[in-house]
Amino acid sequence: MQTSILAIVFLPLLASIVAGLVNKSAPSVFAKSVTTGGLFISCLLSWPIFISFWTGNAEATVVPVLTWVQSGALSFDWALRVDTLTAVMLVVITTVSALVHLYSWGYMEEDPDQPRFFAYLSLFTFAMLMLVTADNLVQMFFGWEGVGLASYLLIGFWFKKPSANAAAIKAFVVNRVGDLGFMLGIFGTFWVFGTVSIPEILEAAPGMSGATIGFLGMRVHTMDVLCILLFIGAMGKSAQLGLHTWLPDAMEGPTPVSALIHAATMVTAGVFMVCRLSPMFETAPIALAMVTFVGAATCIFAATVGTTQWDIKRVIAYSTCSQLGYMFFAAGVGAYGAAMFHLFTHAFFKALLFLGAGSVIHAMHHEQDMRYYGGLRKHIPLTFWAMMMGTLAITGLGIYHLGVGFAGFWSKDAIIEVAFARGTELGNFAFWMGVFAALLTSFYSWRLMFLTFWGNPRWIESEHIQHTVHKTPEQAGEDTTGGYHPHESPLTMLVPLGILSIGAIAAGQVFAPAFLDSAEFWGGSIFYNEALIHAMHAVPYAVKYAALIVMLIGLTVAWFAYIKDTSIPGKAAEQLGPIYRFLYNKWYFDELYHYLFVVPAFWLGRQFWKLGDIGTIDRFGPNGVAWVVEKGAVGAKKFQTGYLYSYALVMLLGLVAAVTWVLF
């Protein structure tokens, strides 16, 4: 197993280095083959490890790599820790990443910088693998910052687009805010526990329950402070309310990047970290309350915004924010297994939805506005059915008494039930937010499907498509489709959709018993509250069917608004004017942050530039020295007359000065 673990983690890094160094000196197919082959090997090695934990035939393993740091009391090695929690993440990361690599063969076929793109993808995967296999907090931070760097490179991959550069910078800066909290949490944890070893910290954590620490003249609970700081890091990486603004803008990167970020890598890092450190969080009730509230608030916030967006990728992006909220409030109420189960199933259907959206965009000449779609199910039927599977999974279609359902039914419904079972005020708040978000999820998901695949073709209205296919208005007028006919994607894009569809259909059904009901499956890798899980199974039937009922309501409303009577959305937007604009403008978070942080930061920067750099440093530094030299030269040249008596006078004055210095 140790050799397999080393290969899983380091093959993507090796492939990234090879592809990056070779770059354009070899045909693009070389870089694509090396990186994709490395990821598929990692994927094939990950599944047997996961299955061995699933069947109870494996134990936690630590694979030493090298001695890393020995400095006074701080000493740790670089080692790869694989337990059940890590095994779950390994299959999620490598499976989605391998399929994204394969999908990118078709999607990025016309891009001249394919070697660089594939090198970045593999580097991103390696960083995430480093994060989830970390045996200590410093190693986790290495992977944490690695995914931040890789996301910056991938979001800004098309660096000639100003919007892509702006989105990459935004993602980097917003994540630095969260990472400051994460760093402070790591520093504080080392100060309190005297080690950065994760197993040692988790073993000692229960003994710190109730301990206090002095802070700003007050006594506060030590574990609450540490866990809140760590959670701030999770809020940045996993785009929770307040630090979420970077994620929708990350759509500026190529669609395969969106699928990788949203399904398997960066945004799941925060959820993974909270679950990995769950014994710490269990000793911090205030921190857990914060996790619950922020998760539930994010869940409903992102769902409301998703109902108004027209960009197909942006709708799915806000869906990711919302689903991450589910995962966090599950962890907040103590159901870490349910949080990880939703992370697991979400990876399949969210990657499917993003790659399916990419297939639609590919068919529509990179048009992303759903208002210019319509009737596509007849033209791209395979993409349609893949998107249908993803939609049924995310909306949670399933029937409790029959014991059948798509992936989201098993994981999302479990989170809603466990929030109700918790019985606390925050648990009830999370329950109602989760149910309402399920209603909105159903509405915006079916809205996307109806606008994209049903109705009359609206492509003739898209200036982008008409310009791309070089049709004159007269030519376009001869054809109701504007002279353009969408085409199905190549096999390299369709095969990943087919594989992910299987996961969206069956992942919940197959793995629910292990993830939700088996403490033995987790093997101590997370905190498992058995009493809470029993209470979850005993909730009333009304709670168990709440998600299905609201899913059907959302479907019905979307059908009436976008199929039965397409005038309803316009009338509703007009009637709800201020509310609609509030939601469409994403609760004005970007505008608020612009005036609170960006404008003052630019003003401060200008003051430092004009008063500091130009007015002080340059004035009295290089410019001042240059002025002294210039004026001195003007005075000195007056003595350069060419007459002997002038030079003799200067020599005499110098001699008199020297004698005067010596005598007096």
| Predicted local distance difference test score (pLDDT) of residue 484 | 65
For residue 474, name the pLDDT band (cuts at 50, 70, 90).
very low
Q: Mean pLDDT, to the nearest integer, of 360-375?
A: 89
pLDDT band at 477 (very low <50, low <70, confident <90, very high): very low
Band (pLDDT 50/70/90 cuts) for residue 475 is very low
Q: What is the number of helices (H) and of strands (E) in the chain?
A: 32, 6
Q: Do 264 and 128 contact (CB within 8 A), yes or no?
A: yes
Give phi and psi for 264, each to the nearest 5.
-130, -20
pLDDT of residue 218: 81
Q: Read off the pLDDT of residues 631-647 as tens digits, 9 standing for 90 and up.
A: 888 877 776 777 787 77
Cα–Cα dist 385/390, whole Å: 9
Please state at what angle helix 84-107 crosses helix 491-517, rounded to 10 degrees: 170
The helix-helix angle for 425-453 and 381-395 (nearest 10°) equals 170
Long-range contacts of 30-35 (CB under 8 A, 24+ apart): 30/115, 31/114, 31/115, 31/118, 31/119, 32/101, 32/104, 32/105, 32/114, 32/115, 32/118, 35/101, 35/118, 35/119, 35/121, 35/122
Alpha carbon distances (Å) from 129 to 253, 271, 388, 656: 22, 15, 31, 80
Q: For the chain, give the mean pLDDT.
A: 90
pLDDT above 70 as % of the chain:
96
Query: Given this model, what pLDDT does residue 469 score?
Result: 58
Question: Would you say residue 481 has pLDDT above 60?
Answer: no
Tell me the angle at which helices 381-395 and 546-559 cross, rounded to the nearest 10 degrees.
Answer: 140
User: Contact, 329 vs 296, CB < 8 A?
Assistant: yes
3-class SS letters over 256-273: HHHHHHHHCCCCHHHHHH
Q: Quick one: pLDDT at residue 69?
A: 85
**What pLDDT digit, counting tens, does each position of 43-79 carry?**
999 999 999 999 988 899 999 998 888 887 788 889 9
Q: What is the mean pLDDT of residues 7-21?
A: 94
What pLDDT, on a 0 to 100 scale, did the predictor assign at position 650? 82
| Residue 476 pLDDT grade (very low, low, confident, very high; cuts 50, 70, 90) | very low
- Which one is predicted more confidently, 466 or 6? 6
Half-sphere exposure of 232 (CA within 13 A, CB side): 17
Question: How do the domains of the chain map onto residue ranges?
Answer: 2-455+490-584, 585-620, 625-664
Beta strands in 499-649 (DSSP E): none
CB 60 within 8 A of CB 523: yes
For residue 261, pLDDT beyond 80: yes
Q: What is the mean pLDDT of residues 174-201?
A: 93
Q: Cβ contacts of residue 424 below 8 Å, gap of 6+?
A: 333
Question: How do the residues of the chain divide into helix, strand and coil, expressed in percent and rounded to 5?
Answer: 75, 5, 20
**Residue 161 reports pLDDT greater than 80:** yes
Please check the confidence at residue 531 and state whether its pLDDT lies above 90: yes
Query: What are the pLDDT digits (tens) for 374-414?
Result: 889 999 999 999 999 999 999 999 998 888 999 999 999 99
Torsion angle of the four alpha carbons 290, 291, 296, 301, in this order, in degrees rounded to the nearest 10: 80
Tens digits of residue pLDDT in 262-313: 888 889 999 999 999 999 999 999 999 999 999 999 999 999 999 999 999 9
Q: How confident is the model at residue 462 (pLDDT cuts 50, 70, 90)?
A: low
Lowest mean pLDDT, pick from 99-103, 295-299, 518-522, 631-635: 631-635
Q: What is the mean pLDDT of residues 103-115?
A: 90
Q: pLDDT over 90 for what percent of the chain?
A: 68
pLDDT at 482: 54
End-to-end CA distance of the chain: 88
Express each pLDDT in 217-259 by its tens digit.
Answer: 788 899 999 999 999 999 999 989 999 999 888 888 899 998 9
pLDDT at 26 over 90: no
pLDDT value of position 24: 81
Average pLDDT over residues 560-568: 91
Q: Which of 110-124, 304-318, 640-654 has the lowest mean pLDDT?
A: 640-654
pLDDT for 327 equals 95
Q: How many CB atoms lie within 10 A of CB 186?
A: 21
Instruction: Give per-residue pLDDT as tens, 418-434.
Output: 999 998 999 999 999 99
pLDDT given at position 262:
86
